[in-house]
Amino acid sequence: MSEKVEFQELDTASGHRIGVATLNAQKSLNALDQGMINELLQQLLSWHNDEEVVCVFLQGAGDRAFCAGGDVRAIRESALSDDKDSVQAFFEQEYRLDHLIHVYNKPVICWGHGFVMGGGVGLMAGADFRVVTDTTVIAMPEITVGLYPDVGASWLLGRMPAKTGLFAALTACQLNPADAMYLGLGNRFIDHAFRHNVLDSLQQADWQKDAYQVTYSVIQDYADQSAGWLPYSKIREHRDLIKKMMGKPSLADIMHALETLETSDEWLNTARQTALNGSPLSITLSYEQLRRTRHFSLKEAFQSELTLSVNTVIQGDFCEGVRALLVDKDRQPNWQYGTLGDISAQTIDAFFAPCWTSHPLADL
């Protein structure tokens, strides 16, 4: 076992146990590497089958982040070494973990404080109680590193109101706790200072009753105490404008709407500029993935993402994007395509072509 994930079982007053998983890689803002994913999956499966464990609590060590994504540097190294098997293994296990949380047989609480990005959103999205706090900053920033929103985002973003999911995918906009509540990424707002109180109250609860009802009572009590502190939602403020821009009939029209947007709003301008600076290939893949999967089940969405993720890391702008942003940090990526118009339909179709005859996630 590594020291990057810590597991505890807290005894309750009624003789049951609460499983606590803590991401503990604070230098990388608790970013997920292959070992962390494997350990989380193994432990959650163990708790899933343990009748004495009545609830699972996911959190990140420190106050800066729950989880700022996946270990993209390590994925890049595998891709540069032409180690396609390692690339596939990372995404396959990550999606198995995310899917398990969605279908878990007991209540899961995710304490989404600080940065919750990429792979962190994947862990949080399936939890029954998705807690955002006064410190929460959520984003899907994949277009900045040549990827696209995955970890179940194909299923999640398409269900957000007024095309806001597409906007989040194309702009990597940063979302505050109120934005998260409006979009459904979070469903409880609790002040971060209450975290230890919540765990203490869970331990003192009578778990001989229905586990979901018990969890709800504890979480809702602290949410009620925190209700007056919720900040202002920018994405809700700009909902109508976002719907108008994202509702254009083609990706080219959407990007033109962003390019010609005139606004004095700093949040909108930042989102706009991020979209315009992102990988044209990743922007196209993000748009196309949401279009192709709009009627998919959760299982089908994860299966589709595994195909697209492996192909994008091996053939797309991922290695260059990570180099520019995180390795050399020159922020001058040399994208494969200069504009959307340079990318043919055949090129895009190739990214959606399966890499295998029998899908690795067929058993989800």
Strands (E), the chain: 5-11, 17-23, 53-60, 65-67, 108-112, 115-117, 129-132, 137-139, 188-189
Q: What is the pLDDT of residue 355?
A: 84
Q: What is the pLDDT of residue 228?
A: 85
3-class secondary structure, 143: helix
Compute the average pLDDT of residues 174-191: 97
Query: What gap in Å lies between CA 362 and CA 254, rounded to an integer?
Result: 35
3-class secondary structure, 71: coil
5 pairs with which residues across the strands? 23
Q: What percent of the chain has pLDDT over 90?
A: 97
Q: What is the pLDDT of residue 1?
A: 53
Task: Give 327's pLDDT tier (boundaries 50, 70, 90).
Answer: very high
Query: What gap in Å lies between CA 158 and CA 22, rounded to an integer?
Result: 30
pTM of the model: 0.97
Q: What does pLDDT average to over the chain?
A: 97
3-class secondary structure, 95: helix
3-class secondary structure, 184: coil
Query: What gap in Å lies between CA 353 and CA 356, rounded to an integer?
Result: 9
Question: How far is the first Cα of the chain from the last one, in angstroms, to the nearest whole number?
Answer: 25
Interacting residues of 197 by C-beta distance below 8 A, sequence separation 6+: 222
Asked whether residue 338 carries a pLDDT value surpassing 90, the answer given is yes
Looking at per-residue pLDDT, the higher value among 229 and 330 belongs to 330
Residue 298's region, left for phi above 0, alpha for psi from -120 to 50, else beta, is alpha
Listed residue (70, 72, 89) closest to 30, CA to CA: 70
Q: What is the pLDDT of residue 249?
A: 97
Asked whether residue 197 carries a pLDDT value surpassing 60, the answer given is yes
Fold of 5-351: 2-enoyl-CoA Hydratase; Chain A, domain 1 (3.90.226)
- Alpha helix (H) ranges present in 187-277? 195-204, 211-226, 234-237, 239-246, 251-259, 266-277
Cβ(325)–Cβ(145) below 8 Å: yes
Residues recorded for the chain: 364
pLDDT in tens, 136-180: 999 999 999 999 999 999 999 999 999 999 999 999 999 999 999
Query: What gap in Å lies between CA 92 and CA 42, rounded to an integer?
Result: 14
Alpha-carbon torsion 223, 229, 233, 237, what sign? positive
Query: What gap in Å lies between CA 102 and CA 150, rounded to an integer?
Result: 15
Task: Give 229's pLDDT tier (boundaries 50, 70, 90).
Answer: confident
Asked whether residue 227 carries a pLDDT value surpassing 90, the answer given is no
Compute the average pLDDT of residues 283-300: 97
Structure tokens that stand for 356 in this block: 């295998």
Domain boundaries, the chain: 5-351
User: Between helices 266-277 and 164-171, what is the axis angle to 10°?
Assistant: 60
Compute the average pLDDT of residues 304-322: 98
CA-only gyration radius of the chain, Å:
20
pLDDT in tens, 41-96: 999 999 999 999 999 999 999 999 999 999 999 999 999 999 999 999 999 999 99
Structure tokens that stand for 222 in this block: 């602290």
Query: What gap in Å lies between CA 242 and CA 162, rounded to an integer?
Result: 7
Compute the average pLDDT of residues 313-342: 97
Asked whether residue 2 carries a pLDDT value surpassing 70, the answer given is no
pLDDT in tens, 43-54: 999 999 999 999
Cβ(325)–Cβ(331) below 8 Å: yes
Query: What gap in Å lies between CA 23 and CA 8, rounded to an integer?
Result: 12
pLDDT in tens, 346-358: 999 999 999 899 9
